[in-house]
Amino acid sequence: MSPEFSLLLLTAVSLAFLHTVTGPDHYLPFIVIAKARNWSIRKTVWFTIACGLGHVGSSILLGLIGIIFGLALHRLEFFEGMRGTIISWIFTAFGLVYLVWGIYRLMRKRKHHHVHYHADGQMHLHEHNHLNDHMHVHDHDKKSITPWILFTIFVFGPCEPLIPIVMYPAAQNNIMQLIIVTGVFSLVTIITMLSLVLLSLWGFKLLPMKSLDRYTHVLAGGTIFLCGIGMVFLGL
């Protein structure tokens, strides 16, 4: 292994780790959605892996197209930047819609009372909410499109440092180095995502958060919305 390739591998590992850790959108959405929807660890792991593969895979595909057709690097960087801006706004809008839905759902779950009078003159108070009184609600989360929306966002979201810093230098040497470097970058990205998600979920179990269970969807939407704001205005 040449010193140049060793340096490129080290760069790929470092960039993959830093890019993931410093981008809260790479792990916070999975944490809050898994918590809000009571996902099992297995489902959380597979969904995180799927989104990670989609996220890195789309940039790898774009980079390969650029290399095969000899597209200039600055054109690919421009396209990635434009794609990143669009996805950041979509991510923010998704978080806002989820937040509003969470608030609406919370309000419908709030219990209230009705006075009922019987023919014999007796009366009683009837307590209920507008959410649990409908039989179809119990299947709502199972049929939710929220995870699919998030997956789509990750697939179309760019992995900015992958093409200009990792793929192009590797491609100038040989195809095998290109495969190894992109594979290492992808593996480190997904492992870092999984580690942050699972460690955070494990940490939540140690905290007294039972009183916040009814607010989980509101917190999930608010967290995703704030991540989107950070992406749009802070470039996270």
Residue 127 lies inside a defined structural domain of this protein: no
Task: Give the domain range for residue 11.
Answer: 3-110+145-234
Residue 185 lies inside a defined structural domain of this protein: yes
Buried b (16+ CB within 10 A) or exposed e, 55-89: bbebbbebbeebbeeeeeeeebeeebeebbeebbe
Tell me the two tokens of residue 60.
Answer: 């790898």
Residue 140 lies inside a defined structural domain of this protein: no
Please answer whether residues 24 and 236 qualify as being in contact, where contact means their C-beta atoms are separated by less than 8 angstroms. yes
Angle (deg, nearest 10), helices 73-109 and 146-156: 160
Q: Which pLDDT score is estimated for 112?
A: 46
**Mean pLDDT split into 10-residue runs, the chain, 236 residues:** 83 92 92 91 94 92 82 80 90 94 82 51 52 44 75 87 73 78 93 95 78 82 92 81
Residue 119 lies inside a defined structural domain of this protein: no
Residue 92 lies inside a defined structural domain of this protein: yes
Q: Which pLDDT score is estimated for 8?
A: 84
Residue 130 lies inside a defined structural domain of this protein: no
Residue 229 lies inside a defined structural domain of this protein: yes
Residue 135 lies inside a defined structural domain of this protein: no
Total of domains in the chain:
1
- Record the pTM: 0.80
Phi, psi (5° rounding) for residue 71?
Answer: -70, 145
Please answer whether residues 62 and 202 qualify as being in contact, where contact means their C-beta atoms are separated by less than 8 angstroms. no
Give the position of tokens 């969470």.
102
